[in-house]
Chain A
Amino acid sequence: MSSTVAGAPPARRRGTLKVRNAIIGYSFIAPNFIGFALLTLVPVILLFYYGFTDWNVFTGATFTGLDNFQRLLRDASFWKALTNTLYYSALHIPLTLVTALSLALLLNTGLRGRSFFRTVAFFPYITSIVAIAVVWNMLFSETGPINRFLAIFGLTDLPGWTASAQLAMPAVILVGVWREMGYYMLLILAGLQTIPSQLYEAAAIDGANAWKRFWNVTIPGLRPTLFFVTVMLTIGSLKVFDLILVMTDGGPGQATLVLSQFIYQKGFIENQFGYASSSAIVLFLICIAITVFQFIWNQRKDS
């Protein structure tokens, strides 16, 4: 082996090297992939089968064709959940995007104590969701600080927000925005730092004011980041679950019932896993459809 000339190894050795590199590569991916496959991929694939059955965990799943989906079409609670999910997403996505972007822009300047404020903005994201629910529920209560503050502006007689059919969803959206803005702010901050400062200098020399620099340098430079953030936010909003479960549990009535919770109710509470799977398939298809649309739109913008 020592006689082998460097740079021109025999064909056999090149082959084993390739295999070895591949093995090393795969073994690095393996731990994560095995976990993902066992806990996510396989269940998701099975879901597509169970969605067409009347499975209840214990007994065998009998194939029932499209029955579950026909039942979904007739199920007013499903439609209510779908409408509520779209309501949540329609407000949560733009609000989070705007607040996260504004925070990122603000904390990307030479502001004094900015690392402190970055931490503060990120804090809600790592706080226990149950603690968040308890504290915000109190803030939103009938005699809580938020209603007292609003009373200063003449808005009296407001009910407890999360106990009101009209205000429960806005309350949950507000808390959702507050909770997630820090995370997306971090992503956007990272994106902001990839924009070369020369571009800003050149724009300033050309006489562009701050607003023009924002529209013509920052936003185009952030395009890939904003795209990623929007896609993640959309998927996250469509499958919102924990926040609603602990804050309002879908109530009062069905005012904040969302799709993930509908799926949870049908599956884990009412033990109709087949039916729950079919609604999960619908949620999955909605997420895929919107994401594909976003990709196509992004590609068109790119070209």
Chain B
Amino acid sequence: MNRRIAATAALASMALFLTACSGGTSSSEGGETASGGDGEAMGGTITMSAWNVASTPEFQSLVDGFNATNPDYTVEIVEYDTNEYDTQMVADLAAGTAPDVVTQKNQAYFSTYADGGQLMDVSDVAAELTPSQALDSFTVDGTTLAVPYRQDAWVLFYNKDLFAAAGVEEPDGTWTWDDYEQAAADLTAGLEDQGGAFGTYQHGWNAAVQGFANAQVDGADPLSGDFEFYKPYYERALRMQEAGSQETFGNISTNQLHYTSEFGTQKAASTIMGSWYVASLIAQQASGDADEFEWGIAPAPQLDESTVYPDGTPRTFGNPTGLAINPAIDEAKVDTAKAFLAWAASAEGAKAVASIGITPAVVTDEVVETFFAAEGAPQDELSKWTFSNEAITPEHPTSSLTPAMWTVLGDMHSAIMAETESIDDAIAAAEERAANEVLSN
């Protein structure tokens, strides 16, 4: 009798385990059927990958806008984890369960997909679009593998109220890095007896220093393995944290400070940040997570006066976000997917994302108007000028060496900024690593 009970229990436990397993597989298969199994009749239904859909409304805007263009079209969003997006996407592509449209979230990973043969040739879609640097960065050997619908760029955000309180003149678009450094020091001094705030906030990412050197120094190439051109940018960053006109790297990393709270709650009078912060700052001021204050955007400080307002084109950097097609897509759906890509990368798609504060890849007068029509957006002329007059270098060069080189550059950045090594030593160490660990393989 006991044995029978034991046997039943054992079988039951096995059954439980097996159903748990099959439960897992059937749900993922279910996902696949929804994406690919519906056959020719549903050639108008495609899936696209996305992340953090609840707080990233651009996907819904794109999908709604495109679905409205033709009653036969339906784009369904498949959500991925924000931080593990590329890891999960690599796994899904390798397993053959990825969606039809593969969104290119991090440009650093683009080459991984491209070299792995995971992106369909969409040169015919690209041929209809306005040429841009973003489009070029999705092109390998003349073949375009993704089209950009969004293009972020790093700009200077400044708090007009704090500038006035400190008696410092607002940026007028002509700032070089020296002007910026001086203003940050003046702001810090001017605000000292008014509750105190840092003149500026430069986030801990290596892009916050290196990205500008890559974009502004003539001939700069982070993949060359020669990093001497970063030196002046690091000297300034260290000088500024030494002078107390910005938070130190040590405090940023140990206290895990975030630019949204530093600038949003007026602990810093300005910050250099990517344009995605426009949408979140507007949202946070509306929700009360950020203080109420007047702000504007200006071009990022420049290396010299040749690229400043009003006659120059300021040089900055930023990541394009693109859409690509999974080569494993059902053949009947390719046309729909290409139509979606073409629409998203067009001026129409640009207006759809600009209306929610996202910087699109295509900038026309109408797009600028739509962008600044959002409630809470700055209204001054310089903000609008900045938006439409920038030369944007992609943050990550399109190369299979990029991810490995970025590991080396990231280590160099934290070593210099935490002042554990002198700039010269850290650059020399990084150059040696680049030569031995990246370029030689």
Contacts and interface: CB of A to CB of B under 8 A. Distances in A.
Contacts of B441: 71
A59 B91 CA distance: 13
* From A30, A71, A166, A269, residue with most partner B Cβ within 10 Å: A269
A165 B94 CA distance: 39
Contact of A27 (B10, B249, B411): B10
B207 to A, nearest CB: 15
Nearest to A161: B254
Report the contact-size class of chain A (Cβ under 8 Å from the partner): 35 or more
Nearest to B418: A252
A83 interface: no
Nearest to B93: A58
Contacts of B248: 142
A170 to B, nearest CB: 14
B14 A163 contact: no
B65 to A, nearest CB: 32
Contacts of B403: 269-271
B87 interface: yes
Contacts of B421: 165, 253
A302 to B, nearest CB: 36
Contact of A142 (B116, B250, B414): B250
Interface residues of B, number: 47
B334 to A, nearest CB: 20
B70 interface: no
A142 B17 contact: no
A23 to B, nearest CB: 8
B60 interface: no
Interface string B91-117: 101100000000000000000100111
A272 B111 CA distance: 13
Given A24-B10, A141-B255, A57 B90 contact: yes
A23 B414 CA distance: 58
B254 A76 contact: no
A30 B15 CA distance: 11
A160 interface: yes
A265 interface: yes
A242 to B, nearest CB: 14
Nearest to A271: B112
Contact of A74 (B21, B251, B418, B436): B436
B418 A165 contact: yes
B333 interface: no
B254 A141 contact: yes
Given A59-B116, A269-B403, 6 more contacts: A24-B6, A30-B14, A58-B90, A76-B436, A144-B254, A251-B414
4 smallest CB-CB distances across A and B, nearest first, come from: A58-B116, A253-B415, A163-B250, A165-B420
Interface of A: 20-21, 23-24, 27-28, 30-31, 34-35, 56-59, 71, 74-77, 134, 137-138, 140-144, 159-166, 250-255, 257, 265, 268-272
